[in-house]
Structure formats: C-alpha cells, structure tokens
Amino acid sequence: MQWLSNRWLIALGILWVSGVSVGLWMLADYESTPGAAAVAPGRWPVDSRIERVPGRATLIMLAHPHCPCTRASVGELALLMARAQGLVSAYVLFLAPKGFADDWHQTDLWDSATAIPDVQAMEDDDGQEALRFHAATSGQTLLYDAEGGLMFSGGITDARGHSGDNTGRQAILSLLTTGVADQTQTPVFGCAMRSESTVGDEGDLVCRQ
C-alpha cells in the first residue's frame, strides 16, 4: 500500500502547488487592475471649499483613510512635493462619512499626509469634495493650473500599493516645471471610495492588499 500512499501525497502536492499558483495569479491580477477613474471637471468647481492660492497650481488627492493601497500614493506624493517646492499647493482630502466617530478619518494615512511639507490634509465631510471632483477611487489625484483649468487626472502609482517611479508622478512634475507632459491621464490604483461590497459595518474599507 506504500505506492497508494505516495500517490496521495503526490496528488496533494499538485493540488497545493496549483492552489498557490492560482492565488498568486489572482493577487497579481488584483494589484494590476485599476479602479474607476474620475471624469474630473475641466474647470475648478466654484462650490469647492478648498481655497486656491492665486497664481499657483493646485493639486488634490482624494483618499479613503482606511485604504492600505493608498499608503503608496501618499508616499509618492511626498516624493513629488520634495521636487515641486513652491510650484503647487497640495491637499489630501480624506473621506469622513456621516455617522462615524469624529476622528475616524485621522488614521496613519492622515498622519503621513500632514507630515509632508506644503501639503494640507482636510476632512471631506461625507465625501462632498469627492463628489464635486467625480472621484470614485482612493488615490485619485488632480492637478489644476493657476487659472483653475484641469491639467492632470489620474493616479501616481503603477499598481495597488506599489511605490516607485511612475507615469503619473512624472507627468505632474513635468506639467509643473515645463507646462507639458507626454500623458495627462493615468489609471488610478486603489479601492473604491464608497461601495457596499467594500465597506464594512464600521465603515472600514475591506481591502485585499
């Protein structure tokens, strides 16, 4: 019966390897699948409560404070701001739904954003700013010029939760320094800002990252 036992071990080994392979493929597919991109307004919304600095471009990032994927986006923002000092006013708007604790949005992502020089973290009451800018995915980044015209819309990572050189960060820096860029739209890699399938009972984002 030893041969039968060996066959079972071999079969179990094949099943295990197959399961791991499928799991890794699903994870890789998830990480490389972008979220819904914003169809951002071409002009700065007149009802936005963000005060633009006259004569300076404005960058905003819309974020879910409990999305681990967005840590990479905030990290890329820090690198961008280090190279764009004095060229842009930047804001990170954190979703703050009604009915949750007053400090629900003040997570480690909030702390990371506030630590970036020249970046202001703001509470987005019930996602009203996200609605104004048509943002549906955490990490959505928008750049408006000094006159309030849209220059860039997209993400500043090349995959969910992945840091490193990417087209979005390069495009924004090029727009700020030269006024032109090869691309002005990029995919947004993050979780949905609001979704019944991704938000738990306590409002935390259910993310597989």
Q: What is the CATH number of the domain that holds 50?
A: 3.40.30.10
Distance CA 155, CA 158 (A): 8
Q: Is residue 140 part of a domain?
A: yes
What pLDDT score does 70 carry?
Answer: 95
CA 199/CA 28 separation, integer angstroms: 22
Section 45-57 average pLDDT: 94
Model confidence pLDDT, tens digit, residues 152-170: 999 999 997 788 999 999 9
Assess whether pLDDT exceeds 50 at residue 18: no
Residues 21 and 199: beta-carbon distance below 8 Å = no
Residue 21 lies in a domain: no
Q: How many structural domains compose the chain?
A: 1
Is 27 part of a structural domain of the chain? no
Tell me which residue range forms the domain holding 75. 32-209
22 located within any domain? no
For residue 1, being part of any structural domain is answered with: no
Instruction: Encode pLDDT of 132-148 as tens digits.
Output: 999 999 999 999 999 99
pTM of the model as a whole: 0.80
Closest CA to 36 of 197, 156, 192: 192
Does residue 119 fall inside a structural domain? yes
**Predicted pLDDT at 117:** 95
